[in-house]
Structure 1
């Protein structure tokens, strides 16, 4: 890069495109802005990318992207020309700033790419990958379209891989995902995508991809490889990988022996690093007594942290905590609020608890018809607590006629699930000589 860019611009590019710590992006953008202030032509392309595509976590602003692209083109940046074409803003004043043709700009960037400049290689890869070559230069007939698309996909992959070998993260992303998913004419081959990615270890900062490697290796039943990347993530402080390894130990079916205590230790490590999924899973352990004694107070604390950090599924556990008063005071309104949010998000929710709240008007307006329906749906899914609530409903004639035989049947199913209080409820009844159930 040093051959084409100033030290300031090179350092900015390294922070934005050659490492994956987002806390360093702002400094990278500032360095680009300094290079732009110094009227460095190619700096306008990279800062325009930030505003056009959100690179560096910059808020998109097409007006700024156009202004930067236009000035960069005026200063002679061929990268700005290709970038404006890719952003579909090479028109009007931006296009009028050109002194040469799009083909001239392409050839200039290609020369940079052939000399080994990784960001130019990335730009050439994009030109092939997204069809700019196809639409601007080749313009094949309908019969030849597929042939050219496949050839261009191969060219794009070649340039992405050359760029990635020098550490360019977006090039790695495009090369890996192209083969992993079979995009734009690239043949889908997960094994090949992983094989190539392994060769990039030590060349590219792949921390953002460790989790993807783990999931793909698990899907392929290559558990030793999955655990290897889990452990690599733990060493590198990648919290999602710490959780991944915790789940391996929690379930004991992914290449390691079950060890709930080890799982909890890892979940807490991820939670301490601010990971919402780590908080959620640590809470599950405390709530269910996995690897520790049941501790509802600690479970609620973890669940609340996960919720504050944006975890979605934790609302189901929070609903249970508020409903039963586990780790917090009983609060039916909060329980219903959590369940309604899950419903609005089309997520699973504890129907037996919502059914109870509707049946008795707890935290929500009473709706006995809905309450009964939700309890029956949960019971049909073999939920023991739903059977317990249905037993109470028939026993106490809540929204239905008293039906002792139905109450006993429901309590028996709840007792089979070892629901607390079910056996005691059954003890309130006895059979007559004629086989009919009645209260003792």
Structure 2
């Protein structure tokens, strides 16, 4: 790693971490790939982190997850002379003795000093990496120390406390500088402490996600909105959901739509709710909630013209692709009545079998199918009548029951 980060890495860090609202995440990813191929070890390191999933990079970028490639890139970054890569590989458990031999540094301390210098100059990603070195006790290996390095256990614990506690300031600098997930470690540091060395300070963790929301981090805006919604502070929650959604945070257009559908924190507006569900599906076509709620909107003609084919399409995605049964009643009714799909009593019954909550119309449909022996099931009038009776005062069930009577021997039969 050079004494300074390259312009390519600085730009990538800006777009991938410090200001995700630029919407240039994919361009930054491509920039890192090009720089890595050209020999930039820091680019290889940051690129590796981008491939490690939402714990290390914002999900809204839509980057692929590839642990194998990430590992290769970390090793490559060490060989390319990235001190940043050395510390990240160490933290990831990838700095094996054979990989360490390939780094162009006399020691881990030399690599750490170089990253720390960049952290002191204000780079938030480096600040986070330095903070991790203290938080996860990597400083022991970096400094080549252990309990045998101290004359007593008390002195060793005092040393540990002094080093570990340094993470707090570094994480705050990284957090305020653009690395939102530094708050995750701060939250753990405050709520759990560290063994019997660092005492918990839960009061300091209380407003972390509120601070992150105010700093403009979409994920924290979403988390803070969840907290506000739970507290029934709906207007404030809606504001933060919108902020997160407009930045591209996954799931938040659905949350905005749901609040407009329910009229929480705003006037009820199904047309706007539908537009929010459509925005969510534009980003994630398989989103369960958006498909379910949009499907019901089309089924009922709420906020959109009634369209059973579209209703069946969206509800089927949530059920077939995501294994969600929330909309099975509507799917059953579509199949039972031939709405938006060919009439199919067998398939309707498959959906009805998954309606495990009280639903009179579902009981009517079950009763109708069993009593008439439809959809490939054997006619079973007693079973059908049982379901029809369970449907209570549902008008169609009462009408269907008129087709059956009890014999003198108490057996249900069809009226002739």
Task: Confirm or deny a common fold (TM above 0.5).
Answer: yes
Alpha-carbon contact 1:52-1:87 (below 8 Å) kept = no
Alpha-carbon contact 1:394-1:400 (below 8 Å) kept = yes
For residues 343-363 of structure 1, give each alpha carbon's deviation from its aligned partner in whole angstroms, at most 9, with x where no partner exists.
xxxxxx64267xxxxxxxxxx
Q: Does residue 163 of the first structure (1) align with residue 174 of the second (2)?
A: yes
Residue 300 (structure 1) aligns with:
312
Q: Which moved more, 1:134-143 or 1:271-280?
A: 134-143
CA drift at 1:224: 2.6
Alpha-carbon contact 2:301-2:307 (below 8 Å) kept = yes
Q: CA 1:15 to 1:392, structure 2 compared with 1: closer, same or farther past 3 Å?
A: closer
- Rounded to whole Å, the distance in 1 between the matches of 2:347 and 2:406 is 41
CA drift at 1:245: 1.9
Alpha-carbon contact 1:119-1:163 (below 8 Å) kept = yes
Residue 79 (structure 2) aligns with:
71
Alpha-carbon contact 2:16-2:25 (below 8 Å) kept = yes
The CA RMSD measured in Å over matched residues stands at 4.6
Alpha-carbon contact 1:5-1:42 (below 8 Å) kept = yes
Equivalent residue for 1:59, pick from 40, 55, 66: 66
Alignment of 1:11-410 (within 5 A): 11-20=11-20, 24-40=24-40, 42-50=42-50, 57=64, 59-60=66-67, 61=69, 64-65=72-73, 67-72=75-80, 75=81, 77-98=82-103, 99-133=105-139, 139=146, 155-171=166-182, 174-175=185-186, 178=188, 187=201, 191-201=206-216, 206-233=217-244, 235-236=246-247, 240-252=251-263, 254-271=264-281, 276=287, 277-291=289-303, 294-303=306-315, 312-313=324-325, 316=328, 317-318=330-331, 320-331=333-344, 350-351=352-353, 378=356, 381-385=357-361, 387-388=363-364, 391-392=367-368, 403=382, 410=387
CA drift at 1:92: 3.0
Alpha-carbon contact 1:12-1:31 (below 8 Å) kept = yes
CA drift at 1:121: 0.3
Q: CA 1:400 to 1:428, structure 2 compared with 1: closer, same or farther past 3 Å?
A: closer
For residues 388-434 of structure 1, give each alpha carbon's deviation from its aligned partner in whole angstroms, at most 9, with x where no partner exists.
3564578569768764xx76564333133x2x521112333578999
Alpha-carbon contact 1:393-1:399 (below 8 Å) kept = no
Q: CA 1:18 to 1:308, structure 2 compared with 1: closer, same or farther past 3 Å?
A: farther
- Rounded to whole Å, the distance in 2 between the matches of 1:285 and 1:90 is 54
- Rounded to whole Å, the distance in 2 between the matches of 1:391 and 1:314 is 22
- Rounded to whole Å, the distance in 2 between the matches of 1:149 and 1:320 is 65
CA drift at 1:13: 2.6
Alpha-carbon contact 2:209-2:220 (below 8 Å) kept = no
With a CA cutoff of 8 Å and minimum separation of 6, indicate the structure with the bigger relative contact order: 2
Q: CA 1:44 to 1:187, structure 2 compared with 1: closer, same or farther past 3 Å?
A: same
CA drift at 1:123: 0.8
Alpha-carbon contact 1:51-1:62 (below 8 Å) kept = yes
Residue 6 (structure 2) aligns with:
6
- Rounded to whole Å, the distance in 2 between the matches of 1:155 and 1:121 is 11
- Rounded to whole Å, the distance in 1 between the matches of 2:291 and 2:137 is 44
Aligned to 1:421, the other structure's residue is in SS state helix
Q: CA 1:134 to 1:44, structure 2 compared with 1: closer, same or farther past 3 Å?
A: same
Q: TM (normalized to structure 2)? A: 0.72
Unaligned stretches of 5+ residues in structure 1: 340-348, 354-377
- Rounded to whole Å, the distance in 2 between the matches of 1:91 and 1:182 is 30
Aligned to 1:100, the other structure's residue is in SS state coil
- Paired residue total: 390
Q: CA 1:22 to 1:266, structure 2 compared with 1: closer, same or farther past 3 Å?
A: same
- Rounded to whole Å, the distance in 2 between the matches of 1:7 and 1:334 is 59
